[in-house]
């Protein structure tokens, strides 16, 4: 299959190198920015690729919604397969792109947009054809996992953990999308679309790791607990839930053994039971490996990951309840329905009765809106 690559950044370079060595794939051209076409295979106009009858597939690794959406649409409309690593694109425009791809009978695959090298969406798309998916979850952001691991195993505070993550290239200069949980949320959106034919677009509950302190971590450790930022998605009472929040786990849980910047994705099938997939969630070659596996999959005839019938829905996170560990000011010790609590100087640390995810996130937002400092994490069941 003859392939053109749109974008020649970190992942694009890796994809080009891998295509050169892969069975059944051949690199035709690469779309670069004007002025950057210093080799004959580099082109600066998307039209050159879309109008090239030799090109059978495009790989989009530019990032962002535009012009990626216009370019991928044009390629699909011209009857070319499309593979992308761009989670923002698929979260925003996945259903439209899939419908166009299905109309034209070409593939639209996006494994690399969720979990980097971890073959999550690929396996999920295969599983849904014969199994019912009860739930989805895992650790889908390597930056925050690296930071939490550094805070726990190396005793760093939040600011130092972030600095080290930035120095190693795991966190961007503006780390907001990672530490807020937004990056992980986009990934669980895509997984829900693959598993349930529904793309959740609003109604999310999102809590990142920005509130955790070194003192909190020390306290968890004294209880034998490990903190991870987890995503969850699934269907309950015919309502789709999808949320991101920190979770406290026993040190022997599989999630606790996911170290550094690794990702872990899991699904529970009625027949398969729990399937857990672990690997590197980012980086040039890990991400490129997922892109190129999708190309091989398209060669073998796979066309859909999302379905053309995929519809946008509002998530309903009131259908899941958790007990929550909370740290807040001692003066707020009665602000939440604690089942147990202890005072720690001017702080109160406690565990609540089971609360709906929506309810807990709203309660904390109300406290923060009043200027209160609150950390919370779900207790693993």
Can you give the binding site for its own copies, defined by CB under 8 A? 14, 18-19, 21-25, 117-119, 122-123, 126-127, 129-131, 251-254, 256-259, 269-280, 283, 285-286, 288-290, 292-293, 295-297, 300-303
**Closest to 116 (Cα-Cα) out of 294, 298, 257, 290:** 290
Supply the minimum distance, in Å, between the C-beta of residue 328 and its own copies: 31
Indicate the pairing of strand 375-379 with strand 324-329: antiparallel
Shortest Cβ 285–its own copies spacing (Å): 4
At closest approach, how far in Å is the CB of 102 from its own copies? Answer: 14
Contact 81, 59 (CB under 8 A): no
82 vs 112: CA distance, rounded Å: 12
Nearer to its own copies, 1 or 333 (CB): 1
Nearer Cβ to its own copies (280/352): 280
For the CB of residue 256, give the shortest distance to its own copies in the complex, in Å. 7
Of the candidates 80, 87, 93, 187, the residue annotated as catalytic is 187
Q: Given the complex with its own copies, which of 232 and 266 has the nearer CB atom?
A: 266
DSSP E strands: which ranges in the chain?
A: 2-6, 26-31, 42-43, 57-60, 81-84, 108-109, 133-139, 198-202, 205-206, 225-236, 239-250, 262-269, 273-280, 311-314, 321-322, 324-329, 338-344, 347-352, 355-356, 375-379
Q: Show the tokens assigned to 233.
A: 């998605």
- State yes or no: is 223 an active-site residue: no
How many other β-carbons are positioned within 10 Å of the β-carbon of residue 53?
A: 9
Nearer to its own copies, 50 or 249 (CB): 249
Catalytic residues, by residue number, are: 187
């Amino acid at each position: 299959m003859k392939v053109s690559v749109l974008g020649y950044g970190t992942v694009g370079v890796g994809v080009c190198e891998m295509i050169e060595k892969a069975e059944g794939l051949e690199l035709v051209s690469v779309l670069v920015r004007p002025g950057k076409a210093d080799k004959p295979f580099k082109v600066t106009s998307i039209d050159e690729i879309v109008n090239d009858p030799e090109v059978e597939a495009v790989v989009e690794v530019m990032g962002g919604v535009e012009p990626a959406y216009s370019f991928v649409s044009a390629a699909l409309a011209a009857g070319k397969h499309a593979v992308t690593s761009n989670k923002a694109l698929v979260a925003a425009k996945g259903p439209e792109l899939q419908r166009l791809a299905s109309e034209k009978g070409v593939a639209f695959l996006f494994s690399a947009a969720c979990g980097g090298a971890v073959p999550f969406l690929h396996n999920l798309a295969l599983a849904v054809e014969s199994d019912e998916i009860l739930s989805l979850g895992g650790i889908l952001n390597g930056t925050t996992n690296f930071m939490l691991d550094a805070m726990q195993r190396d005793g760093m505070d939040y600011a130092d953990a972030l600095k080290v993550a930035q120095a190693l290239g795991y966190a961007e200069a503006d780390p907001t999308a990672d530490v807020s949980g937004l990056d992980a949320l986009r990934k669980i959106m895509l997984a829900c679309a693959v598993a349930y034919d529904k793309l959740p677009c609003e109604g999310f509950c999102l809590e990142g790791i920005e509130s955790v302190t070194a003192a909190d971590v020390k306290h968890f450790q004294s209880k034998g607990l490990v903190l991870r930022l987890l995503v969850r998605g699934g269907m309950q009472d015919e309502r789709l839930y999808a949320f991101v929040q920190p979770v406290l786990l026993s040190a022997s849980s599989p999630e606790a053994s996911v170290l550094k910047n690794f990702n872990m994705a899991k699904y529970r099938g009625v027949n398969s039971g729990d399937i857990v997939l672990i690997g590197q969630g980012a980086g040039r070659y890990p991400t490129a490996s997922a892109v190129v596996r999708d190309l091989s999959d398209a060669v073998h005839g796979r066309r859909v990951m999302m379905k053309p019938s995929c519809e946008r829905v509002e998530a309903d996170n009131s259908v899941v309840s958790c007990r929550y560990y909370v740290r807040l000011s001692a003066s707020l010790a009665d602000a939440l329905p604690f089942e147990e609590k202890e005072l720690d100087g001017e702080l109160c640390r406690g565990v609540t009765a089971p609360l709906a995810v929506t309810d807990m996130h709203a309660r904390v937002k109300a406290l923060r809106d009043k200027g209160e400092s609150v950390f919370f994490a779900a207790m693993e069941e």
